[in-house]
Structure 1
Amino acid sequence: MEELIRFGERFFDELEIAVYRNRDVGVNIELNEVSTSSVRQRTITVIRGIKDKRIGISIVDSKDKEEIKKAIEEAYKMAKLNAPDEKWVSLPEPGKYREPKKISKEVKEVSPDYFVDLATKAIKLALEKDKDFVVAGGGGGAEWSESLIVNSHGIDVFQEGGGAYFYLELIGRKNGNVTPGIFEFDAKLGLNLEVEKVVEDVAQKVKWAYNVEKSKTEEAKVIVGPWAVASLLSYALFPAFSGERAVKETTPLLNKVEQKIASELLTIYDDPFHELSLKPVIADDEGVPTRKNMLIENGVFKGFVWNNYWAKVYGTESTGNGTRNLSTGGIGIGFHSIVIEKGKENLSDLIAEIDHGYLIDGFQGAHSSNPDNGNFAVVANPAFLIENGEIKGSTVFMMSGNVYELINQIYEISKEQKVIPFHGTAITPWIAFENVRIAGK
């Protein structure tokens, strides 16, 4: 890479070369059968060069030296065509990195056959549990990634890692009733996926869903599950932590650092080194060292996260949150492993303490939430009615409001946490809210 950096310096004032290699293994389940299995491998090299504050980016599906040289020349042509970015300061300098977490190479080498066997086992277990179940969908897989980030300021950092996941979607058909598709999942840094527990948990939800209860418009206690928490907050709240939005003044959190914005029970941070993290990266996509970044601590907003560009525009330092879009090669601001700190009560106890309320397993429409003000309108589906401390059946209702009001209505958080691999990576518990306004359907 040293030779390629020197070659690129003939054209650019500054140069960054980022090489990514990914291997994805996966299987899909459709209607009680394993439908497809696949292995996908790809290598991408992204060139980002700066000449007189003009930025040029080029992407090539190769790590071949001569191909990268051609990409450098192409990036230079792009830079000459672009207008200068007067906000540009510089690429980042090298930093001090933590020791990488030791990760088993079994994820890197796993065959699709492993997940075919898992899927076959899960289908068999589900159909044995209830003859009225249909395994509507599901799947499993593993991703292994390697990255090398180098730049003309001396950054040179390599890292690798991967994780695995499995999910199952069931539909129940009994006495003329057909339940909606209900799913459950597991995700781990290794291959020790708990398929039996996935089947057990999703089967229980489907059995609850056989009994359909009508919802009503009211204010009630609501327990929101990890998948629903992650989907809502990923769209309504988490974007507000971006330093870019702070510079552009499009975040509701502007000028609110060290102010209380949520229940004191709520603590949220980004931590790639958390024990459950699926992305224990030591550097971001610009080669800046990663770290634990506190976002909300005991209800108090602690600060924004930054990539190199927006940090220097604002006059602060990067928090190691630069993330690259491999389609465009551009760098944005993102998270590695968002963690919502666990609470003190078991989920079963939270349910048992509710005389009347709801357990929400999923939200539809969370993607339409507005991060500029925190407003949201979602459908709770599947949701379950709680009466006298027991789940009595499934229901559906609308839930709308403002996420900043909602996070002030937290009255308890579960001890249990779950890894969500589908909204970036999030580690979330079940969260109990009071006085939530719902609209029955």
Structure 2
Amino acid sequence: MENLLRYAEKLFDEVEIAVYRSREVSANVELNEISMTGVRSGAVTVIRGIKDKRLGLAIVDSDEENRVKEAIEQAAKMARLNSPDEKWVSLPKSGKYREKPKPNYELKEASPDVLVEMLVRAIKLTREMDKHATVAGGGGEISWNESHIMNSHGIDVSQEGGLSYMLLEFVGRKGNVVTPGITEFEARKDLNLNVEEAVERGLKKVSWAYNVKSSKNEEVPLIFSPEAIAFLFYGALFPAFSGERLVKETTPLAGKVGEKIASEVITLYDDPFHELSLLHAVSDDEGVPLRRNTIIENGTFKGFVWDNYWAKVYGTESTGNGQRDLRSGSIRIGLNTVVIEKGKRSLEDMIAEIERGYLVDGVQGAHSSNPDNGNFAVTANPAFLIENGEVVGSSVFLIAGNVYELLKQASEVSREQTVMPVMYTVVSPHIKFENVKIAGK
């Protein structure tokens, strides 16, 4: 790598070389049968060089020296053809990193048999616990990733680590009732996925879903599950935290730093070092040291997250949120591990106090939300009706509104937190919202 960097420095004013190696083991399940297993591995090298403020970018699916050298030359040709970016300042400089976390090396050499055994056990448990239920879909993955990032300003950081996760989709069929698909996640930085708990959680919801209840237009308390929170916020809220959107004036949070944008029960931060985080990294994809960034504290908006480019354009510093798209090689602003702070009481206690309301376990259509203003329209499915402090059945209804108005209606968060590997890691409790308008279906 060092020899390649020295070679690249002869062609550019400044240059970055990033090498990514990965290994992924997967297994899928469909209708109580293992449908596929696989192992994939490979390497990708990205060259990003700047000459006279002209960007040259090249990607090669290899870490072999001769092919990387060819990619460097290709990036130099591209730089000569591109127009200068007058906003360009520089690549980042080296910084101080935290101590690297110790990865679990069992993940590096794991075989598909590990996942198959877990999925077979999940299918067997499902059959034993509910003869009407099926593991209709899902699967598992064990991934191992290594990266090495160097640039001409002294950055030289390597990191490695892995994770495992399992997703199970349960469907129950009893009489004329076919339940909606009910998903359960398990994700860890080791191989100790708790299959039994995932099956138990899923089948408990299936048992609720056998009793179908009609919904109506009303204003009721809603408890959103971690899965529902992750998908809704990913579409409607999280993009608004990007500093790029601030510069381009496409975030509704412009000018809102220091203002209340949510209920006081909401504290949200980006913390790659949280105990439930699935990351093993100490730097982002530009080599900038990672850190905890508080975004909402007791309902107050504290600030945006940045990569190197947009931070320098705005006149601030990167927050360690530069993430690389390995399809294009480009850097974008992204969150590392979103954590919504937990509360003091259990979900069970929260449900026990509701006279009439719903537990929203999943939302459909959240990807169509508008992060420019926070508006969303989703179908709550599955959702579970709560009456007199107990879950009495399942329902489906529509929720349309604005995510910032919804945040101000939050009244409590549960003490349990769940890890959701949705695009990036989201660690979330259940959140209760008061007086939410729903439209029955």
TM-score range, shorter chain: over 0.9
Q: Distance in 1 between matches of 2:422 and 2:244?
A: 24
Matched, 1:303 2:316: no
Deviation (angstroms), 1:131: 1.4
Alignment of 1:30-429 (within 5 A): 30-429=30-429
Q: Distance in 2 between matches of 1:100 and 1:298?
A: 31
> What do residues 33-87 of structure 1 show as CA deviations (whole Å, max 9, x unaligned)?
1111111101000000100111010000111111111000000111111111110
TM-score normalised to structure 1 length? 0.99
Q: Distance in 2 between matches of 1:257 and 1:280?
A: 30
* Paired amino acid for 1:240: A
Q: Distance in 2 between matches of 1:422 and 1:251?
A: 22
Bigger shift: residues 357-366 or 256-265: 256-265
Where does residue 15 of structure 2 map in the other structure? Answer: 15
Q: Distance in 2 between matches of 1:203 and 1:155?
A: 49
Deviation (angstroms), 1:20: 0.1
Deviation (angstroms), 1:329: 0.3
SS of structure 2 residue aligned to 1:107: helix
Q: Distance in 2 between matches of 1:281 and 1:437?
A: 41
SS of structure 2 residue aligned to 1:407: helix
SS of structure 1 residue aligned to 2:282: coil
> What do residues 238-283 of structure 1 show as CA deviations (whole Å, max 9, x unaligned)?
1000000011111111011111111011000000000000013100
CA contact (8 A) 2:17 2:151 kept: yes
> What do residues 287-309 of structure 1 show as CA deviations (whole Å, max 9, x unaligned)?
00000000000000000000000
SS of structure 2 residue aligned to 1:131: coil
Matched, 1:29 2:26: no
> What do residues 202-257 of structure 1 show as CA deviations (whole Å, max 9, x unaligned)?
10111100010000101000000000000000110110000000111111110111
SS of structure 2 residue aligned to 1:199: helix
Q: Distance in 1 between matches of 2:331 and 2:313?
A: 14
Q: Distance in 1 between matches of 2:322 and 2:404?
A: 26
Where does residue 437 of structure 1 map in the other structure? Answer: 437
Deviation (angstroms), 1:423: 3.1
Deviation (angstroms), 1:177: 1.2
> What do residues 316-342 of structure 1 show as CA deviations (whole Å, max 9, x unaligned)?
000010000000000000011000000
Q: Distance in 2 between matches of 1:122 and 1:5?
A: 49
Deviation (angstroms), 1:5: 1.2
* Paired amino acid for 2:248: K
Structure 2 residue runs of 5 or longer lacking an equivalent are: none
CA contact (8 A) 2:160 2:280 kept: no
Q: Distance in 2 between matches of 1:326 and 1:287?
A: 16
Q: Distance in 2 between matches of 1:389 and 1:361?
A: 17
Q: Distance in 2 between matches of 1:168 and 1:69?
A: 44
Q: Distance in 2 between matches of 1:235 and 1:256?
A: 20
Bigger shift: residues 127-136 or 63-72: 127-136
Q: How many residues align?
A: 441
TM-score normalised to structure 2 length? 0.99
> What do residues 96-127 of structure 1 show as CA deviations (whole Å, max 9, x unaligned)?
00001112111111111000000011000001
Structure 1 residue runs of 5 or longer lacking an equivalent are: none
RMSD: 0.7
Deviation (angstroms), 1:310: 0.3
Q: Distance in 2 between matches of 1:235 and 1:171?
A: 26
* Paired amino acid for 1:246: L
* Paired amino acid for 1:362: G
CA contact (8 A) 1:51 1:79 kept: yes
Deviation (angstroms), 1:410: 0.5
Q: Distance in 1 between matches of 2:2 and 2:50?
A: 18
Same amino acid, percent of matched pairs = 64
CA contact (8 A) 1:230 1:423 kept: no
Q: Distance in 2 between matches of 1:230 and 1:148?
A: 30
* Paired amino acid for 2:410: I
Q: Distance in 1 between matches of 2:336 and 2:281?
A: 8
